[in-house]
Chains A and B, each alone.
Chain A
Amino acid sequence: MKHHSRRVNSRVFPVVLSCTLFLLAGHLMGQQSSSESKGPQKFSASSIQIEAPDAGNVPLPPEFRIAVYENLILQIEKTGKFQHVYRSGDKDAVNAPDLVTLRTTARAFTEGSQKKREVTTVMGATSLTVNVRITDRAGQSIVDRDIKGKVVLMGENLGATYDFSKKVAKIIRDTF
């Protein structure tokens, strides 16, 4: 009898162990996926208004200020996260129910040179750092970050504004 029970135990033990390990692994994976699905908090808004960029104390040339604004509008429209993307001053934005407002303030700007970039490959980078702040109707801040746009090797100086707006569009996708 004793010998028989030992044989049964030796067969059952690996099965029980493997089942336990399997369940444990499943539990751990489940925990991991649930923590992943939580991610950053998502907000919902049907419309956004983009205010005209504020140059602040930075000597930002007008063409860069306008390129930041127009590229932002284009890229945010492309995200498809909002039914309406209103421009600064648009009268229709007053009636939008859950409007969020995006404000930009220049923090730093370095104008490089396309020729220097392409000839030396290490000098002449153009970069701009802009603070991006998205608030709801109550003025509660949803996003408040400094974003850097740059053109390091190929392309025109204004390409830095395109790089910046693409990064802001990614933040919009992650937030809304």
Chain B
Amino acid sequence: MMRMQNPRIDVSVATNYCRAGKPHIWVHGLFLAVLSASLMLSPVLAHGQAADAPPVAASDVLQAQVQLVVGGQSIRNNSKGTLSVVGNSLQLEADGKKVSVEASSILDISTDKDSRQDITGTAHLAAQAIPYGGSRVLSLFSHEIDILTVEFRDGNDAYHGAVFAMAKGKAAQFRKQLVALGAKTTAPLAGQDHK
């Protein structure tokens, strides 16, 4: 019984404290309460939104920013876009267009390494104006990239190929996942990425 009475006392004390001529503290407390409540609820809301999204596990979607070197059909060569493995297909999205290839129609998939200059395009052209061969020094700055080559047949049995350049280490992931989805490959998976 004693324990039941204690909360009453606490409330009255709190009320009295508020009425004791310090309203700014009461406002401060209210603000903190609202803030903490919103912080507590936010993960719940985020979780709720995620639950509305299509049920695709993060591990199922492999994605990378790539440069299409050649073979994008309706997409122009050297376009930059997003390459992803969605469901059972390899999908490239660039220039507002989408091209996808079923993993089962891939005849061969291979990876290789190459390098690209760090200074390219207009800056590279402008660098040619540097006297005493200064542009040659700039050519020393380059980074390694991965090359992914995909060979496949379309619905009419016509043979196609596509070459993608992407960040180092990404091509092997694509290859592994596509092979797991039914793509064929001539080179062995273990000890791949020769050169």
Contact = CB atoms under 8 A, between A and B. Distances in A.
Contacts of A80: none
A88 B69 contact: no
B142 A61 contact: no
Interface in A36-80: 52, 61-63, 65-67, 69-71, 74
Interface string B125-162: 00000000001100110100001010101001111111
What's the dominant secondary structure at chain A's contact region? helix
A127 interface: no
A119 B139 contact: yes
A103 interface: no
Interface stretch (B32-40, B57-65, B108-116): B108-116
Contacts of B163: 63, 66-67, 70, 158
B182 interface: no
A157 interface: yes
B157 A89 contact: yes
Given A63-B147, A63-B163, A90 B158 contact: yes
Given A63-B147, A86-B158, A118 B69 contact: no
A156 interface: yes
**Which residue among B77, B110, B159 has the maximum number of chain A CB atoms within 10 Å of its CB?**
B159
Interface in B102-125: 108, 110, 112, 114-117
A114 interface: yes
Contacts of A61: 112
B158 A115 contact: no
A115 B149 contact: no
Nearest to B114: A157
B156 A62 contact: no
A92 B149 contact: no
Contact of B159 (A87, A92, A118, A121): A87
Given A114-B142, A158-B163, A66 B151 contact: yes
Interface in A105-128: 113-115, 118-121
Interface in A77-100: 86-92
A66 B142 contact: no
Contact of A118 (B136, B151, B161): B136
Nearest to B150: A66
B71 interface: yes
Closest 6 A/B residue pairs (Cβ): A66-B161, A118-B139, A87-B158, A90-B158, A88-B159, A70-B71
Given A63-B163, A158-B163, 5 more contacts: A66-B162, A69-B161, A70-B70, A70-B160, A74-B77
26 contacts: A62-B110, A63-B69, A63-B110, A63-B147, A63-B163, A65-B161, A66-B70, A66-B151, A66-B163, A67-B163, A70-B160, A71-B70, A86-B158, A87-B160, A88-B158, A89-B153, A89-B159, A91-B156, A91-B157, A114-B116, A114-B117, A115-B142, A118-B135, A119-B139, A120-B136, A157-B114
